[in-house]
Structure 1
Amino acid sequence: MELWLDERFKMDSISEFETLFDRRIGVSSSSEDTLTVEDGIVKSGEQVVGGHVLIKDDLSQNHARSMIGSVEWLLVEFTDWSMIPIENLIAACEGTPTKIAAIITKTQQAHGAGFALQKGVDALVVRCDSMLIEEAMVVKSQRTEREHSLEEIHDHNSTNGLQTLTITSIENGDTAERYCIDMTRLLNHGEGLLLGSSASSLVLVHGETLDSEFVPPRPFRVNAGPPHAYVTMANGKTKYLAELNTGDQVLLTSTDGKQRNATIGRLKIEIRPMLILNWVDENNKEGCMFLQQAETVRVIGQDCQPLSVTELKKGDVILGWSQKGARHIGVSISSSVSER
């Protein structure tokens, strides 16, 4: 994500931020990084690079949508800030070459625009206001960190982190404090969390989205296991379940390898009987996970269909994720470690 400075309206002195902007909007094009805006046209020198729309109603929003696909940049601002048009335009730009730059005027708008639809705009445009610039810089940093973390996860193998695990044994795991992770988002069929007793070998545990004969579905929940288990977070790191708090963001993963963030709304902790699932990955690396002994707790088979842990047997193939390196305080590192 880029950060632009709108120099058409002088306010604070911002000399300490001068080198931090990717582009500027000025009254004249003094360099190739300085854009001008006039009569709904955004120019770099004499070259048209985009369109500018002041969104004040549905008609002006539709005008902005009509430019998508025909311009490189769509610069939008609002008479009355609203997230809905931002989200509509981000969705409409999907799969097109058009990028969105949003002019923001208040600090709380930075996060909203920067993470709308979990994707965000392509540039935040700020005036010469030090508080606004600082907030936009924070959002840009968060976006960069998230994108790098997701790339790191995706690069571990060709299917965005998913590979097959072969069950070698299933054992009685006695009882444990079982954590259910209830999220503020509904999970889809084939979607869940990557969990494991080792941070380098994780199994994909399906959300409680399926009907059961005895209990209703809980499509916002993953029955995640005991406190020592690792879960993959939205920033690409791992945390112990015992470290989680309401408001933390975990990383949902689906059977096709797609991933998205979800915020924890509640943690439900109860003493429950457990099973130990032991497996080897495609490189014969061992891993395991404690999961509650219950028909509603499911992993995902090689055919991408949910499998109850109470029906698993030796030789079954399920989906998970492995890496060759190790982790230190949740961060992937290249050194080796043995976890048993």
Structure 2
Amino acid sequence: MELWLDATGENGGLLHPHPADRVLLVEGDDILDWIESPLFACEDGRILDSSTAPVGVHVDIGDAEGQEAAKSMIGLVSWVVLTTGDWQMIPLENLVASAQGSGTRLIARIDTQQSLRGAAFALETGVDGLLLPAEQPEIWADAQIIAAERLATQSEGDDGILEEGGDIVSFDVQSVEDGGVGDRVCVDLTSILEVGEGFLIGSAANAMVLVHGETLESEFVPPRPFRVNAGAVHAYILMEDGSTKYLSELVAGDSVAVCNSTGIVRSAIIGRMKIESRPFLLIRYIHSESGKNGQIFLQQAETVRLISPLGDMPSVTSVEVGDSLLGFIGTSARHIGQNVLSMAEEH
């Protein structure tokens, strides 16, 4: 994590040396002898390097419009310098989540000692740098300590950070319980599902099971090959872009991931949602190799099916303790549906 000196409000001739990785000046300011990595803030929000090439932007994220403006620059520039308003942590966390893996680095403007740690460890990974005021040695001393803590924390965790894979795994059923009555979501697509396809659903985003579509024939009800009876409103569903949403958040036009037992994923568009009060079964399961466990609330109905490693599609009403179900193991936490490199437990 870099420490930047905010010299935009200073008289350059009176500025004393600081232990800064970079110094942010105003466009047109002279570069003092001790400044090794100067950047220049322009009135229009651009940030230039010493050769006057644009390398970033400054965005005020004091409101939702500012947050969206900052998000729109992620992936387009090297640096986004952020000035927060009354709300600091939530906007920073949202942008940290959006920027991960994009190549864009975030710098948070800091005015108080109390704000340092929150920005440095937002969503555990934190921003990429802190823009600190000049001539405030207490803030600089604390910032250096926190930067060292961040470095130590990231070094310890590097070996445990994995990219999310696409492998389908086998879960062992631990229990099947009465899940009470709640709001169930049926997801109707604008396209037809094949036998063996469904959605990855679960109460935890890192342990989802494959819920089969209503594609099988029955003597009691006709198939609905465009539908997945997906479970309770609180559950996560894997989207086409690899993010997740709660079932309650889905709307017509959303693109969801359709998966089969071999792990092949394609996208499909939601045409309609049906939310109705129905009785649930609660199925708890565990991945024996990793120890990760999860759960899912599914409607107690014979037409709601899962997929086994043998290719069978057992009804939720026939699933028993010890049965195996196909699903997906994720390796990262989620923030507003996006992967973030932090630890989170969901039970």
Normalised by the length of structure 1, the TM-score is: 0.53
1:306 alignment partner, SS class: coil
Give the paired residue count: 186
Structure 1 residues 36-87: Cα deviation after superposition (integer angstroms, max 9, x where no partner)? xxxxxxxxxxxxxxxxxxxxxxxxxxxxxxxxxxxxxxxxxxxxxxxxxxxx
State which of 172, 196, 200 in structure 2 corresponds to 1:194: 200
The code of the aligned residue for 1:177 comes to D
Displacement of 1:325 after TM fit?
Answer: 2.1
1:242 alignment partner, SS class: helix
Whether 2:318 is the aligned partner of 1:296: answer no
Displacement of 1:155 after TM fit?
Answer: 6.0
1:327 alignment partner, SS class: strand
Instruction: Give 2:330's aligned residue.
Output: 323
Equivalent residues in 2 for 1:121-200 (5 A)? 156-157=164-165, 160-200=166-206
The code of the aligned residue for 2:345 comes to S
State which of 284, 307, 314 in structure 1 corresponds to 2:314: 307
The code of the aligned residue for 1:163 comes to V
Runs of 4+ residues deviating >4 angstroms: none
Instruction: Give 1:229's aligned residue.
Output: 235
2:276 alignment partner, SS class: strand
State which of 196, 214, 217 in structure 2 corresponds to 1:211: 217
Displacement of 1:300 after TM fit?
Answer: 0.2
Distance 1:196 1:270 in 2: 19
Structure 1 residues 128-184: Cα deviation after superposition (integer angstroms, max 9, x where no partner)? xxxxxxxxxxxxxxxxx9xxxxxxxx9644xx3310010000110001111000001
Note if contact 1:182-1:265 (Cα within 8 Å) is conserved in structure 2: yes
Closer, same or farther: CA 233–240 of 1 in aligned 2, 3 Å: same
Displacement of 1:226 after TM fit?
Answer: 1.1
Note if contact 2:164-2:332 (Cα within 8 Å) is conserved in structure 1: no
Note if contact 2:176-2:284 (Cα within 8 Å) is conserved in structure 1: yes
The alignment's C-alpha RMSD in Å is: 1.5
Displacement of 1:324 after TM fit?
Answer: 2.6
Instruction: Give 2:262's aligned residue.
Output: 256
Note if contact 2:184-2:231 (Cα within 8 Å) is conserved in structure 1: yes
Instruction: Give 1:283's aligned residue.
Output: 290
2:309 alignment partner, SS class: coil
Normalised by the length of structure 2, the TM-score is: 0.52
Displacement of 1:220 after TM fit?
Answer: 0.3
Distance 1:155 1:309 in 2: 31
Instruction: Give 2:345's aligned residue.
Output: 338
Note if contact 2:163-2:331 (Cα within 8 Å) is conserved in structure 1: no
Distance 2:286 2:341 in 1: 21
1:272 alignment partner, SS class: strand
Note if contact 2:188-2:228 (Cα within 8 Å) is conserved in structure 1: yes
State which of 226, 243, 265 in structure 1 corresponds to 2:271: 265
Is there any run of 5+ residues in structure 1 with no aligned partner, and where? 1-144, 146-153
The structure with the larger Rg is 2
Displacement of 1:302 after TM fit?
Answer: 1.2
Is there any run of 5+ residues in structure 2 with no aligned partner, and where? 1-101, 103-161
